[in-house]
Amino acid sequence: MRKFFTIIFILAITAALCDDVATLVYPPFKHTWGIHKGTEAKLDLLLGNATDFANPQGLAVARLKVLEDPKSDKDDDEITAYGVNSGRDQIIYNTSMYNLAIFGSSGSGKNQFKNPRGIAADPSGDVFVCDAGNKRVVHLFNDGKKLKWVDAFGTDILEEPHAVALTEADTIFVTDFKRGTIELFSYSGKHLRTLEGLVNPTGIAVDHPKMTKTRYGDRVIFAIDGNGSQIRKMTYDGKVIETILIQAMPNSGKLSYIAPDFFDNLWVTDSITCRIHKLDRDLKYITSVGTCGTDDWQFDHPTGIAIWRRFGQVVVAERHSAQYLWIGTDIRDLSARILTNPEGNDIGAIGMFLTDRSYVSINIKRDGKIIRQLSKRRRLMQGENTANWDLKDDAGVRVPPATYDIELKLEPTYSSFTYYDKTVIVKLAVAE
């Protein structure tokens, strides 16, 4: 991962990282040398004055099969990333572990773009770009050394293509902002069908049983609709299953792009309030992270977002930089109280809300000493969780009246597992 982001957007050396886990975390120092943020100054370091960040838009990441060593898993996190630098009509991407390259120039011909927006890529090397100003989708191919032009299609149908998603099963989904549609094409550019009924759709993500690095593989589409005001979950024939309005996401402004993780949670950039909202696969709101700014744990009007689903590696495009993070986890709404169970016995009920699947260890302490280990690295699901304590110690004896510390140690999954943890304590008073 250090090698990967040394080349992605040339990231700046930053301050020491926090040991506590959070919903999103920066990779540990040993993986990045403290490098997790790209700046224009660092971009110039590798590319000279060839370009700068100008209206960054869509992002895509893929682990190229042609670069994979089947005899080793040590290179599995070395991902190729593609960023749309829309204001310069070009794609910035990495050609090796240490080098960046630029593809494209302004225009309407071969190897050219006009106001490009979304981008998608697969492990086989296929890359598709929404060339909005030219009303087409551009098909590129990465042979492991450089991007090459393949074809362009859709000019007879598209009016303003905005975002694109792939199933890795020869189907391309393209949102058309002006037409209010999702257009389906094959990889060869053949138009398959039109899904109607949307208004100014932008970001899109899809899932499919043949997709790699995902847990569920449902045949569903997630699309940002209403010019950034809502998200719809749809079937492949356009039937709306769920809808969430932006008002259900606290401190929200306007949704830009969307990326799913391994468990089909959706991570959505909010370019106005500088936040990333997280929803589950049923469009239930989970949490939001970030504030406006250029410091750590802040975002500068984020747009594109991409996730390598297998390891939970997250790339976020900002106005003048890019950030590299890992999916972590966090805890909120922690509580402990005495309840009576159906058998008439008092129990200690410990409630919590987890922002991702987590390993949770729970120790009951009195005067700093552990008197009961309630759980050790128990894997709990994202969302509301409850753990019950029968008010007994490890010997099975009822504890005396006192105030006890209930200590929870939270550890994430994904790549951040074993690198980060968080310990929180809630008190519980046990009476006679």
Among 327, 351, 381, identify where a domain stops: 327
The larger pLDDT score, comparing residue 73 to residue 392, is at 392
| Average confidence score pLDDT of the chain | 88
Domain match, 282 and 133 both: yes
Model pTM above 0.85:
yes
pLDDT at 5: 36
CATH classification at residue 347: 2.60.40.4070
Distance CA 83, CA 250 (A): 28
> In this predicted structure, which of 40-54, 190-204, 225-239, 357-371 has the lowest mean pLDDT?
40-54
- Reading the block at residue 218, the tokens are 């449902």
Domain match, 389 and 298 both: no
CATH classification at residue 301: 2.120.10.30
The confidence band for 11, taking pLDDT boundaries of 50, 70 and 90, is very low
Q: What are phi and psi of 31, to 5 degrees?
A: -95, -20
Distance CA 115, CA 121 (A): 19
CA-based max dimension of the chain = 82
Dump pLDDT digits (tens) for 321-356: 888 899 999 999 999 999 998 888 999 999 999 999
Distance of CA 171 to the CA centre of its chain: 22
Number of compact structural domains in the chain:
2
Domain match, 187 and 262 both: yes
Domain match, 355 and 275 both: no
Domain match, 233 and 107 both: yes
pLDDT at 91: 96
Residue 277 scores a pLDDT above 70: yes
Domain match, 313 and 358 both: no
Dump pLDDT digits (tens) for 119-142: 999 999 999 999 999 999 999 999
Domain match, 268 and 400 both: no
For the residues 387-414, what does the mean pLDDT come to? 96
Dump pLDDT digits (tens) for 64-110: 999 876 665 555 568 899 999 999 999 999 887 667 899 999 999 99
Q: Domain of residue 378: give its range.
A: 331-430
Distance CA 405, CA 388 (A): 14
Q: What is the DSSP letter of 246?
A: G
Among 303, 327, 351, identify where a domain stops: 327
- Reading the block at residue 411, the tokens are 């550890």
Distance CA 78, CA 135 (A): 33
Start-to-end CA span in the chain (Å): 55
Distance CA 339, CA 352 (A): 16
Strand order in the sheet with 116-121: 116-121, 126-131, 136-142, 147-153
Dump pLDDT digits (tens) for 212-222: 666 666 789 99
pLDDT at 79: 84
Q: What is the DSSP letter of 86?
A: G
